[in-house]
Structures are given as structure tokens and as C-alpha cells.
Structure 1
Amino acid sequence: GGCKGSRSSLQLYLSLQEENYTVRFRDPLRLTMAEKLMHALQYESYGGGAAALKHVQVPVPSPKANEVLLKLEATSLNPVDWKIQKGMIRPFLPRKFPCIPATDVAGEVLEVGSGVKNFKAGDKVVSVLSHLTGGGLAEYAVASEKLTVKRPQEVGPAEAAALPVAGLTALQALTNPAGLKLDGTGKQANILVTAASGGVGHYAVQLAKLGNAHVTATCGARNIDFVKSLGADEVLDYKTPEGAALKSPSGKKYDSVIHCANGIPFSTFEPNLSENGKVIDITPGPSAMWTFAVKKITMSKKQLVPLLLIPKAENLEFMVNLVKEGKVKTVIDSKHPLSKAEDAWAKSIDGHATGKIIIEP
């Protein structure tokens, strides 16, 4: 009897082993990725700037339904990333600590979650990750299928990763509140772009020129030639009296201002606006929201319009194609390895980048 019992327990043991074996090796890729650790940077509380970013080893995330797992090739930073860390968008963002920041990524699809139709392993893509979850300062990230588009080989990973927040903000500002037609068929508008050498600004200048606008731009003295090379018709050094007053050298009144700088009151814009001129503020703070409300209530023809980016895949695809066709270029300020991503973070906080700051794993 005892022998029989041990035989059945042996059988049970073997069948368990076999089951374990099949579970373990049914999908080797999924298992190895889920078990694998990756290098990432995260912060654990508000504040602290670049010094508070910690290098960590964390599990590679798994794609849920309608998500893709990406092996990242490039990530670009946006000012909103460090503003979230600083606590400027609390209590909404980040959703929880620790937080792996950054949202604008390019990479290769490694794995697709259930229900994903448009992508397969091996596809090269560019994605906008959710600001709620972030995830860009890492070797791998999961992205929503609906905010992911294919990256053609003509567009490099860094050029593509630079596009989402900055490119889509410029595009949305110009086409929506400013009403510019980018095929150049609309009436010619006069447009002012402030902080034109930065991430959003350098795209706004190029897109406005595609829309046949007359473009006045402001930037620091060292970037005047750079902003002219993007197509701006007239460029003001913001530290000169004319630049500080935002006066067009040729006397133009602005139909729209793509306002990418900080700390300029509406009263400075007002005398330079055309009759129905709009200031589109891409980083609206409390005073901008107050001005927006006052102008609305008093039925003023001149308006301040706060812009809240709504990222859409079709707009990202549109921008990727403009880069592919050579109609818009991404200008890269600097590239940093993931191992030194805190240098990139410090550079973004400093606020003098020309174009976009890129991190590569």
C-alpha cells in the first residue's frame, strides 16, 4: 500500500513539474520580459530637481489590452515633465509616487497586448505616453495603441521622439485657436511666436510659414540667426526695448500670438494685436486664466486663449509626415545617455535649450 501511495505522489509531483514546465515555457518572450529588470529613473516625492532623480532597476512593464510594449530608442523632455515633479500640477499629477517621468518616446514594438490591430513586434513607432503614468526615462515602456504611430525610416528615433508634446502643441495652437490653414490656402495672417528657439516655438515658426503667415519671433540674441533659418520673417531679441515691447519692426499687428515664453502680461501684447487678435498661451498659469475670464466676460475682441493639448494620433502622424517630407525639421539641442539623464533634466529646468533635449538608452 505504501508503495502505491508514493507512486501516486510521485505521479502528482511529475505532473506538477510538467505543468510548471509548460506554463514556464509556453511563451518564452512574455515570461522573460516580465521577469526582466530594466534601468529607469524615478522620483519619489515633489521637488528636488535633477538631484532627486534616482537610477533604479524595476521590472519591465507588461502591455495590457490595447497597449504595446516598446524597447525605447529615444525620449524627449518637455518643461511639463519637471513642472509635474516640482508640484506645479498637484494634486492631479503625478498620479502616484514613485514616478518615472517623460512621455514622448520612439522605439520598437516588442510585444502587443490583446486587441492591438495596427502594430506587430518589430514595428518602429513614436508614441505619447500618458502624463498620468509617464514612463519615458527607462529602457522599456508601454504605450496606448491609439497614441502610437509608425515611424518611417526617413525619420530618425530622436527626430520622432521630439515631436509629440512640442509638435502637437504648436500644431493645435496654429490650426485651432489661430485658425491657420497649413496648406497655405487661407488669408495671410500675422503671427508672433515668443520663445521661438524652444521646443514648441521652433515648430510653431516652421508650421506658421507652411501656412503662409508673416512670422515675427522673439528669442535670445544668440539664437536670432537660428530662428531666421527656421523661416521667421523678423526676429526680436527679447532683452532689447523693442523686443520686450513685442513691437513688429515692420509695424504689423498680430492676428495670433503663439505664446511660449513666461511672465509677459496681457497688457504688453494688447497694443500689438489686430482688432480680433488672440494670445494663445501654451502654459497658462492662474493669471492667464484670470485674464481669459475677464476678456470673455467683458466681450473684448482681443482674447487670451489658454491652450490645453489634446494629443491625437492623426495629428502625430501628420507631423511625422511633415518631417519625412522635409517640410518641418526637428532641431536637437543635445543628446544624453539614460545613465546621465539627470543632466538633460537640469538642462530643461535651466530653460535655454535650442530645440529639443533628447535622452537615448
Structure 2
Amino acid sequence: MADRLMRAVQYARHGGGAAALKHVEVPVPTPKKDEILLKFEAAALNPFDWKIQNGIRPFYPRKFPHIPGTDVAGEVVEVGQGVQKFKAGDKVVTVLNHATGGGLAEFVVASESKTVARPAEVSAAEAAGLPIAGLTAHQALTQTAGIKLDGTGKQANILITAASGGVGHYAVQLAKLGNTHVTATCGARNIEFVKSLGADEVLDYKTPDGAVLKSPSGKKYDAVIHCATGISWSTFEPNLSRNGKVIDLTPGPAAFLTFAIKKLTFSSKQLVPLLATPKGENLEYLVNLVKEGKLKTVIDSKHPLSKAEDGWAKSIDGHATGKIIVEI
């Protein structure tokens, strides 16, 4: 298929937002060893996509022009040498490398190890929402907060900020699979929505109690899944249990400084910057939860690939409820 052209969305420089996205025709890529070629069905947009566009030097993107997008569901059309798990016609979902991207295109090359089968019960849009947002929530809860999602762990009090967003809405649902009491923050318009996901208490972040993150039941938090930005350590600290930790999913320089200080001073309360590491087996676990009805992808909006810039602008705006999906 290498001599064929495909439609794709790309940008040629840092900055420019949605207006800098260009619709182009480029050659269909060829899968190499241990890679598969997918026919695009749906992709999810993540804030990290446009943060890369704004410039995360020198790592992302690896080169220009850059086709963004990492979370893709589609159908296998060709497999490279050594691929054993998949064949043409298989429905799958995959997570791509941020440095190389490639998700917003009619055909996508993916690593076999980061690709999992998508059962018929899980739509392309539902599956596409899972990779970055779902895996980040899963890693924060299971690896860093130590929550056992089979409910066998000891009771834990969890706070989830920005609980109506892409990562947050998965984090609430996953946390409630464990033995947890979940307090969540969101805007007033999403309070009932977040309650419907299973949160035990929901705070409007603009109210006095919401601004200081005070649990309505007076609980101290064993872990905070921090999906928002702009909240200082001094706001979190009084609300933490003796060994409580804040897991910062969008850490900036201040978060890394606080992390270092808490480590150096042997503080029992910790701030942990989380840099998610996508794993195929964890993605398969999440897909199966969706299949079983134990986890759902809430879709904020859908946009055709020909209007991907509309979804891009909505993501930059920062008020999506659930996931923003681009589909063919």
C-alpha cells in the first residue's frame, strides 16, 4: 500500500492551535517488523496532544511535519514481519508513541505490543478513549495509590480532582471497583454526572469548601488523583491523612520541586509526579472492563477526521466532559 495516498491531519511547526492543523495527502505507511497497519475508525484527543504542538522540546515531536494523535481504534489491514497476535480483519485498539504520533490519518502504523483486540461489544469510539486517559487513571490508582481494583484492599479515602474530564471520569469508575470512598471535584454543571459515575461526595471546585478541597464528611485523603492544574501543595496538605500522597498527573516544575523537598525531609506526606507508561496488558484489562459493563467511556463530542480541528479547539478550551473523539 506504500504507493497509495491517504488523508491525514498534520502541523508543520510549534504553536498555532487548531488553525495550524492542515489536511493533507501523504503516502500510506508500511508496517515494519512487529508492527501492524490499521485502517482508522476512531481516535481520542488528549490535552498532551496540543501541549506537544505548543512545544515540549527537544523530545516531542520528533520531526516536522507531525501527524498528532496516539489513541486509535481501527481494523488491521496488514501485518509486518514477526507479528503473531493479529491478522487482517481484526478489530483492535492501540496506543502510539507521542514522539512520532500518526493517529489522525486514514491508516496508522502501530506496535504489536501496544495493541489489543477489541471485542464486538466495545465500539471504536469507546475503545479509542481508553489508552492514555484510562491507562493514566489505572496506573495512578493501582501502582502509585496501591488500590486493588478487585475490592480486596483495605478501605482508602480518595480525592479525584477534575473528575468530569478524560482521566478523571475513568479514575472515579476505576476507584469504585476497589474498596474506596471517593470524593471528587468538578464544575457545578457536572455534579450529577460525576455522582452517576459512582463518586460518594462531589465538590463544586468554585465553592469555598471546593476551593480548599474539604471533604463534606470530614475525611482525610489517603491519596489524591490530581487531574486538574493550579492547586498548590499548601491546599492539599491539610486534607491528607498521615501518610497521604498527591499523585500529580500534569506535573510542572513546582510539583517536581515539592516532590524533592518532601523526599529530602522524609515527610510522611508525599507529592508524586506521575509520568504514565502505557502497557498492552493494562489496556486489555480496561477493554475487558468496558466489555463487561464495569467501565464506560463517556463521550463529550464526536468530530469527523475532516473537521479534526474542531475537536482540537474543544480540547484546548479545557471543559470537555469525558472524551473528545475524532472518527472517519
TM range (shorter): over 0.9
The residue type equivalent to 1:178 in the other structure is A
1:293 alignment partner, one of 260, 277, 293 = 260
Q: Which residue of 2 aligns with 1:71?
A: 39
Larger Rg: 1
Q: Deviations over 1:147-194 (max 9, x none)?
A: 000000000000000000000000000001100000000111000000
Give the AA of the match of 1:67: E
Post-superposition CA distance 1:3-50 (Å, at most 9, x none): xxxxxxxxxxxxxxxxxxxxxxxxxxxxxx211111111010100000
SS of the residue corresponding to residue 2 of structure 2 reads helix
Where structure 1 has 5 or more consecutive residues not aligned to the other structure, the ranges are 1-32
TM-score, length-scaled by structure 1 = 0.90
Matches for 1:18-97 after TM superposition, within 5 Å: 33-87=1-55, 89-97=56-64
Q: Hey, what does 2:322 align to over in structure 1?
A: 355
Residue identity matched to 2:76: V
Cα distance in structure 2, aligned partners of 1:85 and 1:132: 11
* Aligned counterpart for 1:168 among listed residues 119, 128, 135: 135
The 2-side partners of 1:61 and 1:266 are apart by 46
CA distance in 2, matches of 1:84, 1:90: 8
Amino acid aligned to 1:284: P
Q: Which runs of 4+ in 1 moved over 4 A?
A: none
Structure-1 separation of matches of 2:27 and 2:238: 55
Larger helix percent: 1
Query: 3-state SS of the aligned residue for 1:85?
Result: helix
SS of aligned partner of 1:63: coil
| Structure 1: distance between partners of 2:225 and 2:254 | 17
Partner of 1:130: 97
The question of 1:98 aligning with 2:65 is answered yes
Task: Report whether the alignment pairs 1:158 with 2:125.
Answer: yes
**DSSP 3-state at the match of 1:34:** coil
How far does residue 212 in structure 1 lie from its aligned partner after superposition? 2.1
Instruction: Specify which of 178, 184, 195 is matched with residue 151 of structure 2.
Output: 184
Report matched runs for 1:272-291 at 5 Å: 272-291=239-258
Q: Deviations over 1:224-259 (max 9, x none)?
A: 000000000000000111000000000000000000
Measured in 2, the distance between the counterparts of 1:40 and 1:186 equals 46
Matched residue SS, 2:19: helix
Return the alpha-carbon distance in structure 2 between the equivalents of residues 239 and 86 of structure 1.
28
Alignment RMSD: 0.5
User: Residue 144 of structure 2 aligns to a residue in which SS?
Assistant: coil
Does residue 311 of structure 2 align to residue 331 of structure 1? Answer: no
Deviation at 1:91, TM superposition (A): 1.2
C-alpha deviation, 1:135, in angstroms: 0.5
Cα separation, 2, equivalents of 1:233 and 1:249: 10
Identical-residue share of aligned pairs (%): 79
Residues 1:340 and 2:307 aligned together: yes
Instruction: Describe the SS at the equivalent of 1:295.
Output: helix
* Number of matched pairs: 328
Q: Which amino acid in structure 1 is aligned with residue 22 of structure 2?
A: K
**Residue type of the alignment partner of 2:102:** G
Cα distance in structure 2, aligned partners of 1:71 and 1:149:
15
The AA in structure 1 aligned to 2:187 is G
Specify the alignment match of 1:220 in structure 2: 187
Structure 1 position 199 matched with structure 2 position 166: yes
> CA offsets per residue over residues 291-348 of structure 1, 9 Å max, x none?
1001110110000001011111000000000000000111000000001000000000
Task: Report the counterpart of residue 6 of structure 1 in structure 2.
Answer: none
Structure-2 separation of matches of 1:252 and 1:90? 41
Partners of 2:184 and 2:267 in 1: CA distance: 25
1:259-278 to structure 2, matched below 5 A, reads: 259-278=226-245
Residue 116 of structure 2 aligns with an amino acid whose one-letter code is V
